[in-house]
Amino acid sequence: MSAVLAEAAPAAKREAAPAVAVVLLGTGVVGGAFLKLLNTPAAASLRLVGAANSRRQQTEPAKLAERNLREQLKSTGVQRDDAALLAALDASDATIKVIVDATASGELAARHAEWLVRGYHVVTANKSLGGGELPGWRALQAALANGARYGDSATVGAGLPVLSTLRRLRQCGDALLTLEGVFSGSLSYLFNGYDGSRPFSALLREARERGYTEPDPRADLSGEDVARKLLIIARNAGFALGWDEVQVESLVPEPLRAIDTEQFLARLEELDEPLAALHAEAKARGNVLRFLARLNQRGHARVGLVEVSAEHPAARLYGTDNQFALTTTRYHTQPLVIQGPGAGPEVTAQALLGDVLALG
């Protein structure tokens, strides 16, 4: 129905079935940003039929339509029941039924393949399946053979067109040879700003206060989030890599890995001396430190802190920028570089919405 006809006959629009019915799992910062986008004209063809956080859910149309749905779910709504959420999708007359996973739950990610087999489309910001153990990735690929579609643009680069570009290149017969880049907005911010004039721990506390890191910064400093993104890209490029085939260098000293979050935050200064020494060595050689992910054409993958020259592309990043440099059989003399903000709920939610709209 055109916009003109929709305005001329609002009652008809309300009676018509939506083109796309959506259940949202996760109403945190990304899920909350997605809910706001559902109230924009761009999402006019979508109808939210269910929403849930980790404890409560809502499927009543009147409640779902309220602007403060995210806040309401913190204290009201019925107990979380995924079967009831899927029943709400099934009861919809929509021709396209989508589950949007805006969580980081490994348990939920493990169900993506099952949902695809049952005929639901899945759109996700959750990296736990695509960047997890190889059998999970293979189960996902097998499930996609049934015709359902998997929107994963939000899993890498907060929606920067990395995976879509890579897939288009492969469709044209191109092949990835090497990949290098900065895949973490928080680590990008930390090392773009770390010049030795302030302790690393002070910069880390500042980044945490600004919301650039996870509440427990070890989720960023461990390198595991970057490794998941590297696996997602590599697998989409045709490298069947397992988790144990990625060499991951953690920035968290061994004594700080098993303690609770509050203890870790109280001992951040223990990060300072090792990083200050590395910074001084790099500076003496005219280099800077960057946390890079690298993949070569033999499938060797590594994530960790490296020295790069001042002329290196990663040395010229700003703020939370991500950067992906793809060398392919056709982009061989110079890599194809994709760069831009790699963190933020708004851009991540936009990537989710874009993948949902692409199903229509």
Q: Please name the helix (run of DSSP H) or strand (run of DSSP E) that holds residue 94, with its range, or none.
A: none
**Cα 226 to the center of its chain, rounded Å:** 10
Q: Are 125 and 352 in contact (CB under 8 A)?
A: yes
Residue 42: half-sphere exposure toward Cβ, Cα within 13 Å: 15
Please, which residues have CB within 8 angstroms of residue 127's CB and are 6 or more apart in sequence?
104, 109, 155, 156, 225, 228, 229, 232
Rounded Cα distance, 266 and 252, in Å: 14
Q: How far apart are the first and last CA of the chain?
A: 13
For residue 229, indicate whether it is catalytic.
Answer: yes
Nearest Cα neighbor of 348 from 36, 20, 19, 18 is: 36
Out of 36, 97, 229, 283, which one is annotated catalytic? 229
Concatenating the DSSP letter of every residue in 8-34 gives H-HHHHHHSPPSEEEEEE--SHHHHHH
SS3 276: helix
Residue 3, Ramachandran bin (φ over 0: left; ψ between -120 and 50: alpha; else beta): alpha
Which strands, in side-by-side order, build the sheet including 336-341? 246-248, 301-309, 287-295, 176-182, 321-328, 336-341
Please, which residues have CB within 8 angstroms of residue 211's CB and are 6 or more apart in sequence?
none
By annotation, the residues acting in catalysis are 229
